[in-house]
């Protein structure tokens, strides 16, 4: 339980779901964490849970699409918790039902989803490279099984596929430049979070959350949907020195979703 002692991590979108579980998990293993979210109250709630366990957490409001905000998040973290050596780009939206190919308004939705899910990951990575190029660190980008196979909305699929290759490009770049930064992506199957529960509202074939859960469960050979802690454990590994030989790789945590 102490394999992240000395690590200082920033986790975006950590007021909910996978991000919240990841912040808690990294703190449980010894990291000091900055919990950011567009919803400050939610970020504060996660930080409070961590603080109540006697661990270090700083809550900040951050819209990941805002470039200047990234500088501030790294500055505030450095002055409050220490030099940052882990960035988890987790914030994202599903955009479920918004970017259908043949619907008016679909293109606007596409741009919005790409901005949050892909462009903002690039912003975070650029800042992390600038911060970590001397001191070293680990970037973990939350992609999806939808970054490996089709099946979601076009913007979600394209953004998550983009995150997968952006992650590899950063790994390759940092290697060429001699920067001691590892960069890996994580590809969750369906995890029962507010983002997924929301799909029930727009899915044509289901009329309730329970129906959605059962339909999705059947797509996972392991026989259940994921929980945020399943993903947090993988992120924790990639953030730790135990993953010291891993860069440019994709960690699939999907209950077998992509094996069928």
The binding site for ligand NAP (CB under 6 A) comprises 12-13, 15-19, 37-39, 42, 62-65, 90-93, 116, 142, 144, 188, 190-191, 193-196
Measured distance CA(209)–CA(203) in Å, rounded: 10
- In the complex, the smallest distance separating the C-beta of residue 27 from ligand NAP, rounded to whole angstroms, is 17
- In the complex, the smallest distance separating the C-beta of residue 113 from ligand NAP, rounded to whole angstroms, is 10
Residue 97 in tokens: 């039902």
- In the complex, the smallest distance separating the C-beta of residue 151 from ligand NAP, rounded to whole angstroms, is 11
Among 156, 179, 190, 257, the active-site one is 156
Measured distance CA(19)–CA(250) in Å, rounded: 18
C-beta closer to ligand NAP: residue 17 or 161: 17
Angle at 61 between CA 68 and CA 53, to 5 degrees: 130
**184: enclosing H helix or E strand:** strand 181-188
How many of the other CB atoms lie within 10 Å of CB of 104? 7
What is the length of the chain?
260
C-beta closer to ligand NAP: residue 63 or 211: 63
Give the CA dihedral 34, 38, 41, 45, nearest 10 degrees.
Answer: -40
Which residues partner with 191 through β-bridges?
226
Cα 76 to Cα 62, 70, 81, 170, 222, distances in angstroms? 12, 10, 8, 24, 42
- In the complex, the smallest distance separating the C-beta of residue 18 from ligand NAP, rounded to whole angstroms, is 4
C-beta closer to ligand NAP: residue 88 or 179: 88
C-beta closer to ligand NAP: residue 88 or 171: 88
190 as an active site residue: the answer is: no
Name the residues annotated as catalytic.
Answer: 156
């Amino acid at each position: 339980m102490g394999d992240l002692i000395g690590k200082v991590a920033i986790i975006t979108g950590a007021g909910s779901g996978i991000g919240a579980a990841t912040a808690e998990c990294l703190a449980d293993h010894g990291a000091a964490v900055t919990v950011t979210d567009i919803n400050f109250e939610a970020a504060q709630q996660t930080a409070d849970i961590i603080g109540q366990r006697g661990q270090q957490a700083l809550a900040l409001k951050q819209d990941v699409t805002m470039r200047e905000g990234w500088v501030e998040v790294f500055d505030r973290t450095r002055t409050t918790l220490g030099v940052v050596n882990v960035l988890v780009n987790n914030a994202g939206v599903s955009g479920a039902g918004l970017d259908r190919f043949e619907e008016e308004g679909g293109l606007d939705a596409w741009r919005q989803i790409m901005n949050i899910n892909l462009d903002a990951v690039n912003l975070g990575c650029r800042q992390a490279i600038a911060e970590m190029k001397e001191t070293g660190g680990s970037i973990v980008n939350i992609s999806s099984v939808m970054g490996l196979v089709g099946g979601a909305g076009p913007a979600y699929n394209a953004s998550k596929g983009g995150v997968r290759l952006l992650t590899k490009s950063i790994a390759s770049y940092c290697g060429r430049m001699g920067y001691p930064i590892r960069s890996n992506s994580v590809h969750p199957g369906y995890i029962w979070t507010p983002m997924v529960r929301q799909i029930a509202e727009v899915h044509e074939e289901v009329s309730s959350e329970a129906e959605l859960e059962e339909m999705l469960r059947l797509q996972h050979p392991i026989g259940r949907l994921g929980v945020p802690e399943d993903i947090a454990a993988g992120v924790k590994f990639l953030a730790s020195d135990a993953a010291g030989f891993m860069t440019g790789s994709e960690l699939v945590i999907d209950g077998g979703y992509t094996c069928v």
